[in-house]
């Protein structure tokens, strides 16, 4: 979502209130990440603090993600607060890693908000702390059933080592 910040750029101390729904560039539950619902909303301000615009925002919403052990679909919520510094030119900035650069008089907030959401979410989620996961042999969900697969199967690459330990 593009916001015109020309009025804020002119006067130090000037603020602009921003709010809306977040549109995600990539949104899939294919294992590459969470699937965000249509309820992801943000509310914030963009303030001129000299040569830099300070963007403070609060983002709330829900998402679906797969359990890292059994791949069960989970419904989760989040509530994140963050601050980013935005600059129109990097000429007067000594630490260019600490700011985000925009061009002209408009700022695209979707990518900034999406990045902050993804950075603040956990890398993996579990349906429960004692989730048993999937059987590596047959793929059965061990939370629902006990499979009859042997637990003492040896990786074929290591089978030669087993012969060294067994007396004939």
Structural domain for 43, as ranges: 2-120
Q: What percent of the chain has pLDDT over 90?
A: 45
pTM of the model: 0.75
Q: Are residues 115 and 138 in the same domain?
A: no
Q: Which residues 6+ apart lie within 8 Å of 97 measured at CB?
A: none
Positions in the chain short of pLDDT 70: 26-32, 89-98, 150-153, 166-168
Q: Are residues 30 and 78 in the same domain?
A: yes
Q: Are residues 113 and 139 in the same domain?
A: no
Instruction: Identify which of 151, 86, 107, 104 has the alpha carbon closest to the alpha carbon of residue 1.
Output: 107
- Residue 97's pLDDT is 56
- Residue 129's pLDDT is 94
- Average pLDDT taken over every residue of the chain: 84
Q: Are residues 137 and 116 in the same domain?
A: no
- Residue 159's pLDDT is 75
Specify if 127 maps to a domain: no
Instruction: Domain count for the chain, please give it.
Output: 2
Distance CA 66, CA 68 (A): 6
């Amino acid at each position: 979502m593009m916001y015109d910040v020309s009025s804020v750029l002119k006067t130090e101390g000037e603020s602009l209130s921003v709010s809306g729904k977040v549109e995600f560039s990539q949104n899939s539950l294919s294992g590459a990440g969470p699937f965000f619902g249509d309820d992801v909303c943000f509310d914030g301000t963009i303030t001129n603090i000299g040569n830099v615009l300070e963007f403070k925002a609060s983002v709330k919403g829900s998402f679906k993600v797969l359990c890292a052990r059994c791949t069960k679909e989970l419904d989760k919520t989040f509530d994140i607060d963050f601050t980013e510094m935005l600059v129109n030119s990097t000429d007067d900035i000594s630490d260019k890693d600490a700011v985000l650069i925009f061009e002209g008089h408009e700022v695209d907030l979707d990518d900034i908000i999406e990045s902050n959401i993804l950075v603040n979410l956990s890398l993996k989620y579990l349906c429960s702390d004692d989730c048993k996961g999937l059987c590596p042999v047959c793929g059965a969900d061990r939370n629902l059933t006990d499979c009859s697969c042997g637990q003492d199967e040896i990786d074929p690459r290591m089978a030669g080592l087993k012969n060294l330990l067994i007396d004939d």
